[in-house]
């Protein structure tokens, strides 16, 4: 796959193409999940694959928010703890005001103590969106159904 792509700040970018053309591979490379065999991926001026694994996973947690089509919520922790998971993984305390704002914006106030399997598909999706935003990421990546 030969590709040269700039994703501009404040823009929505959709990647479309035939099955097998390399969309999933591109997304994984962009998000720090798959190291390309050649070429570089920059986040601002940082060449992300020159970082060690620990630093790269830190960047993934801080700079990228992932929304998977299958949501990938953790079944054994409640909705609130699912939402703050990216923050908890850093052993940090969540920004309670910002998280509450997210919960309100996404209409999840009455769901926070429930477990994922007690929610409808749409509610689970909103929890996944809140989780993707919990760390105030620079880039939000949403994998569509076709990317599974």
Ligand X SMILES: Nc1ncnc2c1ncn2[C@@H]1O[C@H](COP(=O)(O)OP(=O)(O)O)[C@@H](O)[C@H]1O
CB nearer ligand X, residue 36 or residue 137:
36
* 135 touches 62 (CB < 8 A): yes
When asked if residue 17 is in the footprint of ligand X (CB under 6 A), the reply is: yes
Cα–Cα nearest to 70, from 148, 138, 2, 11: 148
Region of residue 11 (left: phi > 0; alpha: psi -120 to 50; beta: else): beta
Choose which of 4, 10, 13, 19 interacts with ligand X (CB under 6 A).
Answer: 19
Q: How far is the CB of 103 from Mg ion (least distance, A)?
A: 31
DSSP 8: P
Helix (H, G, I), strand (E, B) or coil at 140: strand
17 binds, among Mg ion, ligand X, none (CB under 5 to 8 A by kind): ligand X
Choose which of 15, 22, 24, 115 interacts with Mg ion (CB under 5 A).
Answer: 24
Give me the residues that bind ligand X (CB under 6 A), please. 17, 19-25
């Amino acid at each position: 796959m030969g590709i040269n792509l700039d994703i501009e700040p404040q823009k929505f970018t959709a990647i479309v193409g035939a099955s097998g053309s390399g969309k999933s591979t591109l997304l994984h490379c962009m998000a720090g999940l798959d190291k390309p065999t050649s070429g570089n991926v920059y986040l601002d001026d940082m060449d992300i694959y020159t970082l060690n694994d620990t630093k790269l996973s830190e960047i993934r947690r801080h700079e990228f928010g992932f929304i998977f089509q299958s949501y990938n919520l953790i079944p054994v922790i409640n909705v609130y703890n699912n939402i703050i998971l990216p923050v908890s993984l850093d052993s940090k305390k969540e920004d309670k005001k910002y998280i509450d704002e997210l919960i309100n914006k996404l209409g999840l106030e009455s769901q926070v103590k429930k477990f994922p399997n007690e929610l409808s598909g749409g509610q689970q999706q909103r929890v996944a969106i809140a989780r993707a935003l919990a760390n105030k990421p620079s880039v939000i990546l949403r994998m569509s159904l076709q990317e599974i």
